[in-house]
Amino acid sequence: MKIIRTRFTQEQYNEYIKRYTGDGSDHFADWQNRLIKEYKHWAIVKNLFPYDNIATVSHILITKRVVEFDWEKLSRDEQKELNRIKKDIRGKYDCILENLPTARSIPKHFHLHLLKIKDY
């Protein structure tokens, strides 16, 4: 059984992004090892770099097909299934977070963050 660390420092995150940005690597190539729930075109996976400061749960919804983060590049089937997934996850998460282009550290694989926000 592979154990996945889920807590990283900002330095570790920066190094990870630096290592993989621009080299053509798929950041989610190991998605099956991080799987929480699988759909036909999508998967919910553990976030290696969770938003611990604001969330008690921090997962990522990814396309199984490697596709650039662009809504127009999703297939019709992917879009339909995404709408079904949104209904399926109601009550399990508080929000779906989409980073805008200036904040995307992984723009080459379409993904959305699924968060359960901390109570303050």
Neighbours of 94 (CB within 10 A): 14
Query: Nearest Cα to 42, choosing from 33, 50, 51, 31?
Result: 31
User: pTM value?
Assistant: 0.81
Query: Per residue of the chain (120 residues), what is the pLDDT tens digit?
Result: 333 344 567 677 667 666 655 555 677 888 999 999 999 999 999 998 888 889 999 999 999 999 999 999 999 999 999 999 999 999 999 999 998 888 887 888 899 999 999 987
What is the pLDDT at residue 39?
A: 98
Do 65 and 29 form a contact (C-beta atoms < 8 A)?
A: no
Residue 120 DSSP SS3 = coil
Domain locations along the chain:
10-117
- List the CATH code of the domain at 10-117: 3.30.428.10
What is the pLDDT at residue 115?
A: 96
